[in-house]
Amino acid sequence: MSRLFFLFFLVITLTFASVSGAEQRNDPREQSLSDALDLWREGRFEQLYDSLSHRSGMTRERFVQSMKDAEIKPACCFNKLNNFRLINEKKTTAKVFAKLGMEAGPGSDESQSREFTLDHEEGRWKMRLADIKGLAGLKKKKSHVTRVKKQYHY
């Protein structure tokens, strides 16, 4: 009986160890994408905003409200981030490719495969605000200014 208990304990321990370590990624660029997607999924939009680069076009308050209104969010767990690969890296930027699992509501799963540009700031890699906005379906409102060409008749 004690062997059975020990075997059961060992299996449970190894299972929890493998599950908890599954989200630790080897590449720091991949880890930064994963961390940003986790913050988004958990609704921690203030921390997400702080973790992004190129934020000058939007205030934290407007970002948080926009993200709360967004109907799409990253999928959970192993569906969240797949097929990651580094395309090009420079000293302060890296271009990467990844397939992201997204959810637009209960029972709707889709994925987006695309390139992202990451910036190396403050000693870590950061996603750009524009990439999060694009994934969330948030777009700039275009100005609807109509230009009229005046014709002069002499």
Identify the CATH number of the domain in which residue 48 sits: 3.10.450.100
User: How far, CA to CA in Å, does 149 sit from each of 67, 144, 146, 152?
Assistant: 39, 16, 10, 10
Residue 96 one-letter amino acid: V
Q: What's the predicted TM-score (pTM) here?
A: 0.72
Q: Judge whether 117 lies within some domain.
A: yes
- Domain of 95 in residue numbering reads as 31-136
Alpha helices, DSSP H only, in 22-140? Answer: 28-41, 45-51, 60-69, 129-136
**pLDDT at position 34, please?**
96
Q: Judge whether 113 lies within some domain.
A: yes
**pLDDT at position 93, please?**
97
**pLDDT at position 153, please?**
63
Q: Closest by alpha carbon to 130, among 28, 74, 56?
A: 56
**pLDDT at position 106, please?**
60
**pLDDT at position 150, please?**
55
What total of structural domains would you count in the chain? 1
Residues of the chain with pLDDT under 50: 10, 14-22, 142-144
pLDDT tens per residue across span 103-122: 986 666 688 899 999 999 99
